[in-house]
Structure 1
Amino acid sequence: MDLLLLAPIGAIIALAFAGYLAYSVLKQSEGTEQMKKIAAAVREGANAYLKRQYTGVAIFFAVMVVILSILAFLGYLNPFVPFAFLTGGFFSGLSGYFGMKIATSANARTANAAKNSLNSGLRVAFSSGAVMGFVVVGLGLLDLSVWFYFLKWIFRNLDEAQQIQNITSAMLTFGMGASSMALFARVGGGIFTKAADVGADLVGKVEAGIPEDDPRNPAVIADNVGDNVGDVAGMGADLYESYVGSIVSTSALAVAAGLGFSGVTIPMTMAAIGVLASIIGTFFVRSGEQAEQKVLLAALRNGTYVSGGLIAIISYFLVTAVLGTAHIGVYYAILSGLLAGILIGFFTEYYTSDTYKPTQKLSGTSLTGPATVIIGGISLGMFSTAIPVVIVGIAVLASYYLAGGAQSFSMGLYGVGISAVGMLSTLGITLATDAYGPVADNAGGIAEMSHLGPEVRRRTDALDSLGNTTAATGKGFAIGSAALTALALIAAYKEEVELIVKKENLQFAFDLTIINPPVLIGLFIGGMLPFVFASLTMEAVGRAAQMIVVEVRRQFREIKGLMEGTAQADYATCVDICTRAAQKEMLAPALLAVIAPIVVGLILGVNGVAGMLAGATVTGFVLAIMMANSGGAWDNAKKYIEAGNHGGKGSDSHKAAVVGDTVGDPFKDTSGPAINILIKLLSMVSIVFAAFVLHNSLLK
């Protein structure tokens, strides 16, 4: 049997299982009329935002297709590239859209299920997150499979090595489409959600002293909408792009490694195996009625560990069947990536969950005011980068040498790529635990606004607090996988340039020594880009949040009876402000990611681009981890105080922690997670424009 057929079969199974889960969630009751009304408002706002965002993004894609078509006409690109770019963006956006649709339908159902038991609420929220996870892997595998078999038929008359080179060269481009869509979704959604969240917190909790998710707060619906467009649609598009990027870049490295179609079979089939393992893992997610974080985290971990264990076992038989025992090192490279993903998730949880000392210690700094909370959170985030960097370093070193890097440089690079595939092989269930978070958060808000009983609120608070931790863990996983994927893409960039040079008989040779001026300048530019990108996105959140603060203050001042609860807040205006701000503010960061590699290439040549990619990957990975962990720790430090520690809700320490959480919002939900897309998009754009840069750069 052709094992590559498992990829389209896996895609169909993933999408069918996602459909089954969606059906099981939608069968649940949304609860009271008030709960249905609130859920409908959130759904309406999220749909309106995505419609406007996708309309704007469509213009960008139309312009890019024209540019890519011109380059293809001039002979710089494969003629299939513009179409591959379009499908990559389309499926990336579609995965986010489906995930958001089910998330906005599951929030009230989760709150209603929590009336029965904690486990019922967990199952509904987790099932809706799993829809996102399996839609992402299903559509990713479907896109990969259709293009692979179509291009294999087109290039059927070429020898095997040339076939793979032409197939992967075109397929790498849909990674650029997926990356572009992911960046718009992540940045736009992140600006929306954090503008609403910051505005709601600053005026509602700090100034007015009303609870979180209080229906009197005009920004509360916008905040709930933002959770879905940022952390569901944005995260889905982000990890879709990592998923397909790791598979395609590893397939592209198979030719130089001398593995032929066998080297392509491994990553594609690994993805299909991951689908089945993740499906089995979902049935192990169960909890009792204890609302303790350790118990709930263990329930989610059970599913992830079962999936990882199954992949570890099955991939051994896959590698030995396809490559033979002579290449058993490829199996160990897969294990190194799988283990690295689990370890990064665990240590992210350690630094951000209030179950452990770092966040508990951070909560204690609130006793002396907001300044010490902010200093402590930044310090924690900086220190937390050490272990993930060591883990990724060991994974890269291990996968390189275990795959045979000592004997063959190309085999070593293939090993690094396959370790990224190993890390992302459990994506179906890993993304489920992450996308679960916004649903639980919205459920808590609906329980508060619908005045459900204290027992229900206790359960939704427990699920919400768990969601904060799983969201932080998911971001750590996404950033770690981005680092490995970016390294594989840099290797694929080198292979692509050398392929173009050989095909067109150009006079060029890489000189990637660090003292080569273009490489050194490229390193500095690449190292700077994540900081400029983070600055642009942070400033965007700040400007948008200011508008929300002004609007919420206006409504509190002008709408008579609002604070007494006898008048209705104008939620729609806040949603509209966030939508318009997000659309406007996301353009500059997105254009930076697309334009930078082309400009650097035209001035410094491909050596300079290689330096830029290396610099951006190193600083981007570290900065993203630092920002995500600082933000996650600030958020859970606030939750720890709200649970009754250090004075509890309404105390001075709580107000100080709210300020820390507010600063952390754009850290963890806008800038931090978007940086991992930046480092991958830079690589994708560099690969697509490699031929153009080779022919037109000032420094050859």
Structure 2
Amino acid sequence: MDGTMAASAGEMLKSDTLLSPVVVQIFIPACAVVGIAFAILQWSIVAKVQVKRTENDATGYNHMLADEGGLEDPSVLNKVAEIQDAISMGAVSFLTTEYWYLAIFMGLFTFIIFLFLGSVDKFGRKWTPCDPAAPEGKMCAPSIAVAGFSALAFALGALTSTLSGYLGMKIATYANARTTLQARKGIGAAFSVAFRAGSVMGFLLTANGLLVLYLAILGFKQYFGDDWVGLYESIAGYGLGGSSVALFGRVGGGIYTKAADVGADLVGKVEQNIPEDDPRNPAVIADNVGDNVGDIAGMGADLFGSFAESTCAALVISSLSSMGTARDFAAMSFPLMITAVGIIACIVTTLVATDIQVVGSIKEIEPSLKRQLLISSVLMTFGILAVSFLCLPSKFEIIVAGEPNKVVKNWYMFFCVAAGLWAGLVIGYVTEYFTSHQYSPVRDVADACRTGAATNIIFGLALGYRSVIVPVFAIACAVYLSYSLAAMYGIACAALGMLSTLSTCLAIDAYGPISDNAGGIAEMAELGPAIREKTDALDSAGNTTAAIGKGFAIGSAALVSLALFGAYVNRAEIEQVNVIAPREFVGLIVGAMLPYWFSAMTMKSVGKAALAMVEEVRRQFSTIEGLMEGTVKPDYKKCVTISTDASLKEMVAPGCLVMLTPIIAGFFFGVDTLAGVLAGALVSGVQMAISASNTGGAWSRDFS
């Protein structure tokens, strides 16, 4: 940072920030604690629905205690508890094994991070002047300290992400049977349980992530002192740890759930002509387990990674600004304050769905979920306005590579964050339009089935390609506006704006798999068409909410990736990424190819796992006498084992491709080529992700 900027920073920030650092230091952890307390409250309400068993009676059977509402047959009720136990045990078994693999990988990668960062300055152990030309310049921490704290932050991010995914899975498997039981009382009671359980995951993940990151900053600050650049560069490891776990969680969980889904549907529904989730289908338990490990644990880790990365990117960029030079803690905490205020806004929003405008009929389910997105966005707009004026100085400067420092006003940041927030809302509603049976795109795909699978596939792919248009324009507008106002800091904060309602987004996303499991349990326990009708209605809305969650994940990932790209360009001192220069252009086309390579690897992995699943399900139907008649049970554990083993084995290669490519490109071909690789992968990956997500969401509606 140049001397002029350093000299003017004190005047610019001396008494301009309205909130004192003490207030900020209290407010951020207080909001996190309130979020955790609210999650515990929602958990306690869900737990009031009893799913438990009595002692053995004279007949030797365990009976489940039924609360009021009908269904007096204890043997039927007992099936609900047994099925829930099987799903929970399968999910725990998979995640436990997966996390052992991850522990080994994360331990190795933690060492690599320490080795690479420490070797930049030959593992220097002495504090050195940050600016040798300044007579009394501040001192910068030694490279070995930055490397060590970065590795520690990486481990913290990985552990927090792992815990978030695991808690989300446990909550979902705890609430699925309770949703089924509440369907006896009506659609409103069942919706309330599923949504409250989803909100438990949403608030725990957001609040825990914020609290751990904030405490890490305070803890690291005790060592780094006035070296805020070193402090926040070390903290950036937290985001990398979270996104690394998300990578393996999404890949492993996705392979698991799709392998089980294909095996269950192809053999059960198509070949044997039995209903979805029929208890005679050997893959049905694995299919329900997959909903939890893929769409709950995987999605939770995915969105946590986006939150952690965007927050850390904003902190790193702001540490190089006049706010960092003046060491204004309140201004530097602006990214954390956005999340803190978002927790409060999402609590109010959740109360609207659960206590104010309660769902009373099937047709009210989807409107209630869509209102959650709108209400949280409106509330958060006012929250962003308040935080922008209270936490930030009226003016501050941001470093822009190869250009003069950019002067940013606090109201600029309101528009940056709000642009991301409302772009996310647009993406959510567009996703809902292309994946809901209420609108023409999905109906057109369904109508195409009249002439066979080929036309269905053509219409589905066309829907996905068309669905890319509006989200890309929304992202482009948010990027243009935020960069024009505040350079890369604006883009990082726009990503935070899109994720500021993360608790609500996760609640409606987790609601989907919980409702899906509830429908499966109702079918397997043979609870009758009346209950199945209610759970099917919940599941139908859940398919759309799951697609909306993926839309938010993709949009936020695009903005986060661009912010991180900007941070990389700044730190690598690349003045301009010239796409027609040979090195950058080669990196660009290779980077654009990477999402296709990654997708090919994961799709082949799903195919191999699905083949093994199909063969096993066919074997059981053909060799187990009495299976089709329902007089004997299938071997559920064998199918769970197939999905577990295949997903864990097949997730390694795609994960290594993502983790090692930047290291190899940068080490062997230089920082300019790596910039091209990152830019190409970002642009290509966004289009591909939106298209595939919405095509899959439409097909899920079509055949559900």
**TM-score interval, smaller chain:** 0.7 to 0.9
Q: Residue 495 of structure 1: CA displacement?
A: 2.4
Q: Are the aligned partners of 1:283 and 1:303 in contact in 2 as well (CA < 8 Å)? A: no
**Matched position secondary structure for 2:493:** helix
Which residue does the alignment assign to 2:13? none
Q: Residue 532 of structure 1: CA displacement?
A: 0.4
Residue-by-residue CA offset, 1:528-560 (whole Å, 9 max, x unaligned): 010100110111000000000000000001110
1:289 aligns with 2:360: yes
Q: Residue 23 of structure 1: CA displacement?
A: 2.1
Which residue does the alignment assign to 1:204? 268
Which residue does the alignment assign to 1:675? none
**Alignment partners' CA distance in 2, 1:526 and 1:135:** 35
Q: Residue 7 of structure 1: CA displacement?
A: 2.2
Q: Residue 567 of structure 1: CA displacement?
A: 0.9
The 5 Å alignment of 1:442-591 reads 442-498=517-573, 509-591=574-656
Which residue does the alignment assign to 1:399? 482
**Matched position secondary structure for 2:49:** coil
Which residue does the alignment assign to 2:413? 330
Q: Are the aligned partners of 2:413 and 2:490 in contact in 1 as well (CA < 8 Å)? A: yes
Which residue does the alignment assign to 1:275? 343
User: Structure 1 229/475 Cα, relative in aligned 2: closer, same or farther at 3 Å?
Assistant: same
Q: Any gaps of 5 or more consecutive residues in structure 2? A: 1-19, 52-65, 67-76, 122-142, 395-408
Q: Residue 310 of structure 1: CA displacement?
A: 1.6
Q: Residue 604 of structure 1: CA displacement?
A: 2.0
RCO comparison, higher one (Cα < 8 Å, 6+): 1
**Alignment partners' CA distance in 2, 1:344 and 1:304:** 11
Q: What code does the residue aligned with 2:32 have?
A: A
User: Structure 1 414/263 Cα, relative in aligned 2: closer, same or farther at 3 Å?
Assistant: farther
**Alignment partners' CA distance in 2, 1:288 and 1:619:** 40
Task: Choose the corresponding residue for 1:26, options 13, 36, 47.
Answer: 47
Q: Are the aligned partners of 2:432 and 2:547 in contact in 1 as well (CA < 8 Å)? A: yes
Which residue does the alignment assign to 2:107? 62
The total of aligned residue pairs comes to: 614
Task: Choose the corresponding residue for 1:425, options 463, 478, 500.
Answer: 500
**Alignment partners' CA distance in 2, 1:627 and 1:287:** 34
Q: Are the aligned partners of 2:188 and 2:359 in contact in 1 as well (CA < 8 Å)? A: yes
Task: Choose the corresponding residue for 1:354, options 412, 437, 441.
Answer: 437
Q: Residue 118 of structure 1: CA displacement?
A: 0.5
**Alignment partners' CA distance in 2, 1:148 and 1:252:** 12
**Matched position secondary structure for 1:328:** helix
**Alignment partners' CA distance in 1, 2:120 and 2:483:** 35
Task: Choose the corresponding residue for 1:125, options 194, 209, 225.
Answer: 194
The 5 Å alignment of 1:14-413 reads 14-30=35-51, 32-75=77-120, 78=146, 79-156=148-225, 158=226, 163-260=227-324, 261=328, 262-285=330-353, 286-292=357-363, 295-324=364-393, 326-401=409-484, 403=485, 411-413=486-488
Q: Residue 72 of structure 1: CA displacement?
A: 4.6
Normalised TM-score (structure 2)? 0.85
Q: Any gaps of 5 or more consecutive residues in structure 1? A: 404-410, 499-508, 640-700
Q: Are the aligned partners of 1:257 and 1:414 in contact in 2 as well (CA < 8 Å)? A: no
Q: Are the aligned partners of 2:175 and 2:194 in contact in 1 as well (CA < 8 Å)? A: yes
Q: Provide the identity percentage.
A: 44
**Alignment partners' CA distance in 1, 2:296 and 2:49:** 21
**Matched position secondary structure for 1:512:** coil
Q: Residue 190 of structure 1: CA displacement?
A: 0.5
**Matched position secondary structure for 1:513:** coil
**Alignment partners' CA distance in 2, 1:426 and 1:5:** 21
Q: Are the aligned partners of 2:229 and 2:320 in contact in 1 as well (CA < 8 Å)? A: no
Q: Are the aligned partners of 1:526 and 1:613 in contact in 2 as well (CA < 8 Å)? A: yes
Normalised TM-score (structure 1)? 0.86
**Alignment partners' CA distance in 1, 2:551 and 2:268:** 30
Q: What code does the residue aligned with 1:333 have?
A: C
Q: Are the aligned partners of 1:284 and 1:302 in contact in 2 as well (CA < 8 Å)? A: no
**Alignment partners' CA distance in 1, 2:26 and 2:669:** 43
**Alignment partners' CA distance in 2, 1:257 and 1:200:** 55
**Alignment partners' CA distance in 2, 1:74 and 1:28:** 56
Q: Are the aligned partners of 1:270 and 1:421 in contact in 2 as well (CA < 8 Å)? A: yes
Q: Residue 497 of structure 1: CA displacement?
A: 2.1
Q: Residue 289 of structure 1: CA displacement?
A: 3.4
Residue-by-residue CA offset, 1:406-436 (whole Å, 9 max, x unaligned): xxxxx32211111111110000011100011
Q: Which protein has the bigger helix share?
A: 1
Residue-by-residue CA offset, 1:14-43 (whole Å, 9 max, x unaligned): 222222222221221235211001000000
Residue-by-residue CA offset, 1:459-515 (whole Å, 9 max, x unaligned): 1000000000000011011100100111111111122223xxxxxxxxxx5441111
RMSD after superposition: 1.4
Q: What code does the residue aligned with 2:633 have?
A: Q
User: Structure 1 166/596 Cα, relative in aligned 2: closer, same or farther at 3 Å?
Assistant: same
User: Structure 1 418/4 Cα, relative in aligned 2: closer, same or farther at 3 Å?
Assistant: farther
Residue-by-residue CA offset, 1:184-215 (whole Å, 9 max, x unaligned): 11100100011000110000001001000000
Which residue does the alignment assign to 2:56? none
Which residue does the alignment assign to 2:132? none
**Alignment partners' CA distance in 2, 1:66 and 1:271:** 31
1:6 aligns with 2:60: no
Residue-by-residue CA offset, 1:18-77 (whole Å, 9 max, x unaligned): 222222212212352110010000001001001110011111112112223333543456
**Matched position secondary structure for 1:572:** helix
**Alignment partners' CA distance in 2, 1:425 and 1:73:** 34
Q: Are the aligned partners of 1:250 and 1:264 in contact in 2 as well (CA < 8 Å)? A: no
Q: Residue 287 of structure 1: CA displacement?
A: 4.1
Which residue does the alignment assign to 2:670? 605
**Alignment partners' CA distance in 2, 1:203 and 1:27:** 38
Q: Are the aligned partners of 1:10 and 1:141 in contact in 2 as well (CA < 8 Å)? A: no
